[in-house]
Amino acid sequence: MSNQTEKTIAVVKGLIMDGVAKANSGHPGGAMSSADYATILYSEFLNFNPDDSKWFNRDRFILSAGHESMLLYSLLHLNGFISIEDIQNFRQLGSLTPGHPEVHLTPGVEATTGPLGQGFSMSVGFAAAEAYLREKLGSDVVDHYTYVLSSDGDLQEPIALGAASLAGLWGLGKIIAYYDSNKIQLAGPTCNSDCTDHKKVFEGMCWHVIEVDGHNHDEIRAAIKAGQQETSKPTLIIGHTTMAKGCATMEGSHKTHGEPLKADEIAATKKKLGLPADDFHVPADVLESYRARFDSMRKKAADWQTVVDAKLSEADFAEMWGHVTKPRPELEIAWPEFTPGETMATRQAWGKCLDAVMDSLPTLVGGSADLDPSNQTLNFRTTYGDFAVDGYASRNLAFGVREFPMAAIMNGMQLHGGLLPFGATFLTFSDYCRNAIRMSSLQELPVLYVFTHDSFWVGEDGPTHQPIEHVSSLRLIPDLIDLRPADAQETAVCLDIALKQEKHPSVIFLTRQGLPVMDPAEYPAVIDGPRKGGYILKDCEGTPELILIASGSEVSLALETAKLFKRKVRVVSMPSAKLFDDQPDSYKNAVLPPEVTSRAAAEAGRTDYWYKYVGLGGVVLGVDHFGASAPGKILSDKYGFTPENFASMIRQKY
């Protein structure tokens, strides 16, 4: 063992203790038990550019155990990415060192972590993106590892095992995961809640598994090298460690998981580790030895850039590199045309859109959670094959019945960069995805969620498959763009909106049942109106006496209902409440004039959301109860989704 390595690890542990103590909040124990592995990884193995934390071909390190954030921040300080003042402001308002790492905030943080299991699962997305781009661009341009540090809590979350199963199937040999098995979690010993033999489990999912003493530096180095040499399987290094390793009296205590160490414990621990009593002590020799590789890594990054510049003279490479690096708002997408008057489900329109653009967007990758025919991704799968199973240039991700891992893997792919990921399932199963969707928004990731079978119109499958509250519920997630198109024309516009986003994820809600395709000659606003979220689809002369608002499949219902009135009626299509709410007041007031208080809304879901547009006394046709198993048309009659009933509700009120 190197004395300098031991000294560096001691300094990292000192920063962990001091940062948590100064904040009087945080998790020192796990960070200290993982410190040996993480410090050796960063100082001896991790390949990055010290001058550019976003260098494209860097190794990615994901701290899935996000509560160990002070460990990561300490290493990022040694990298030169954040200052000692940032360390001192741990968990303070406006600092670069929040309680859990945030990717859009702190240089060197690759993923926002905290909800356990998701960092591990995102790492599978990182590695999948690396494998695809390596195949398309060449290993001289894309060839890096994805390292992930996980805890007992990560592997107790089933999402991690779902993602791990896919990583094993896909043979993602560039993943090296470290499991810090300190056998302690917040509530006490892990044996109180878990008896899993992770070596057997992961070997059963086609992983290469190595067990080491997580405090033996030679074993750690040998395990990382062995993981790098295993190219056909992902590697799990199980590090058997002691919680709060190095503490004077509290080694192994579950109290160190989520509580700062007391001043006397910190003082005694620093003495035991050979550190001075000073707070936030980082000596010059530690920085010098830690950064000894920096010049060689700078040269490696410069040589890489030379390779890229030379390959740009190759037409195929230049074209693909252009797709990988093009800002999303600059995408040029030729969407298909649809025949007015035809009846087409919006899920079918999505399928036609996907078929029309998939050749021209080689970075568009994704798939379905085992619902390819229903989600209209079957042709995409047939055309491009299943990723890894049919080769790493294949673009369909066969996620299986794993909605939550699917969503987190998409986040990882988007975080990696260079791809346009999408994932599809039934809307009712969006609940399985929800926390990862929330993490899409929090991380400012413009991934596309395709949710079909969006209402009780699913019919015979019954209430387990009929979404009621799901659209309204997803609209509550900040910065998530909701898109519920009224027909095939709006579907194409909504997809264009989604794929050209820079920071916001999108959820598109699509019907199983057929809807009439609108004629742009009769409804010219359908071409661009959806970009503002809500727009006047059909208007009257002068100021309207009644405004009907609808989304998705209920827009055609609103148009038919309007014909039953002799007064002046305006019909507003609102495919996206989020985009409409983001418009200036002048626009919103032009669409929904405040003086026009006679308003009604229709959507085949919860009614609550719509009162913000129609007023508390307005009329809302919706569904506030679970559905039933019956043909969709019978249910629409039973629930009153007919022009006659909608008109009757309005007449009773106004």
Are 461 and 540 found together in one domain?
no
Annotated binding residue at 461?
yes
Per the domain annotation, does 206 fall within a domain?
yes
Q: Is residue 52 included in any domain, yes or no?
A: yes
Q: Within a domain: residue 126?
A: yes
Q: What is the DSSP string of 271-337?
A: HHHT--S-TT---HHHHHHHGGGHHHHHHHHHHHHHHHHHHTTSHHHHHHHHHHHS-GGG----PPP
59 is in an annotated binding site: no
What pLDDT was estimated at residue 443?
98
Residues 6+ apart with CB under 8 A from 66: 100, 101, 112, 113, 114, 115, 116, 119
Instruction: Tell me: is residue 3 an annotated ligand-binding position.
Output: no
Q: Would 348 be classed as within a structural domain?
A: yes
- Is the separation of the CB atoms in 118 and 408 below 8 Å? yes
Annotated active-site residue 403? The verdict is yes
The CATH number that applies at residue 91 is 3.40.50.970
Residue 152 marked as a ligand binder: yes
CATH for 630: 3.40.50.920
Based on the domain organization, do 511 and 560 belong to the same domain?
no
Residue at which a domain ends, from 297, 314, 347:
297
If you count them, how many residues does the chain have?
Answer: 654
In this structure, are 53 and 149 located in the same domain?
Answer: yes
**Are 488 and 585 within one domain?**
no
Residue 314 inside a domain? The answer is no
Q: Is 512 annotated as a binding residue?
A: yes
Q: Where is the domain boundary, 274, 297, 320? A: 297
In a domain, 310, yes or no: no
495 and 571 in a single domain? The answer is: no
Same domain, 472 and 334: yes
Q: Within 10 Å of residue 412's Cβ, how many Cβ atoms?
A: 31
117, 111 Cβ separation under 8 angstroms: no
Residues spanned by the domain of 378 = 328-516
Q: Any known ligand binding at 589?
A: no
Distance CA 148, CA 190 (A): 21
Catalytic residue of the set 110, 157, 259, 403: 403
Question: Minimal CA–CA distance to 487: which of 346, 647, 288, 337?
Answer: 346
**Distances, alpha carbon 293 to alpha carbons 38, 43, 224, 288, 481, in Å:** 16, 8, 18, 10, 44
> Do residue 279 and residue 387 come from a single domain?
no
Question: Going by DSSP bridges, is the β-strand pair 599-602/420-426 parallel, antiparallel, or unpaired?
Answer: unpaired
Residues 597 and 506 in one domain: no
Q: Is residue 613 part of a domain?
A: yes
453 marked as part of a ligand binding site: yes
Last residue of a domain, one of 297, 317, 343: 297
Residue 429 annotated as lining a ligand binding site: yes
Structure confidence at residue 635 (pLDDT): 97
> Can you list the residues of the chain whose pLDDT is less than 70?
1
**At residue 399, what are phi and psi to the nearest 5 degrees?**
-75, -20
Q: Are residues 562 and 425 in the same domain?
A: no
Q: Can you give the pLDDT at residue 621?
A: 98
What is the number of other CB atoms lying within 10 angstroms of the CB of residue 644? 11
| Phi, psi dihedrals of residue 348, rounded to the nearest 5° | -70, -35
User: What's the pLDDT score for residue 178?
Assistant: 98
In a shared domain, residues 202 and 290: yes
- Taking only Cα atoms into account, the Rg of the chain, rounded to an integer number of angstroms, comes to 27
Residue 195 lies in a domain: yes
538 in the same domain as 490: no
- 3-state SS, 97-140, equals CCCCCCCCCCCCCCCCCCCCCHHHHHHHHHHHHHHHHHHHHCCC
Q: Which residue, 406, 320, 308, 405, is CA-closest to 361?
A: 320
**Do 344 and 400 share a domain, yes or no?**
yes
At residue 292, the pLDDT reads 97
Name the residue among 124, 60, 114, 207 with its Cα closest to residue 402. 124
Instruction: Tell me the three-class secondary structure of 353-404, residue by residue.
Output: HHHHHCCCCCCEEEEECCCHHHHCCHHHHHHHCECECCECCCCECCCCCCHH
Q: How far is CA 89 from the centre of its chain?
A: 28
Q: Report the Cα–Cα distance between both ends of the chain, in Å, rounded.
A: 83
Q: Is the pTM of this model over 0.95?
A: yes
**H or E stretch covering 623:** none
Q: Is 257 marked as binding a ligand?
A: yes
Q: Would you state the pLDDT for residue 1?
A: 41
Q: Are 515 and 346 in contact (CB under 8 A)?
A: yes
Taking Cα atoms as reference points, which of 350, 417, 415 lies closest to residue 113?
A: 415
Please tell me the total count of domains within the chain: 3
77 assigned to a ligand binding site: no
- Residues 405-419 have pLDDT tens digits of 999 999 999 999 999
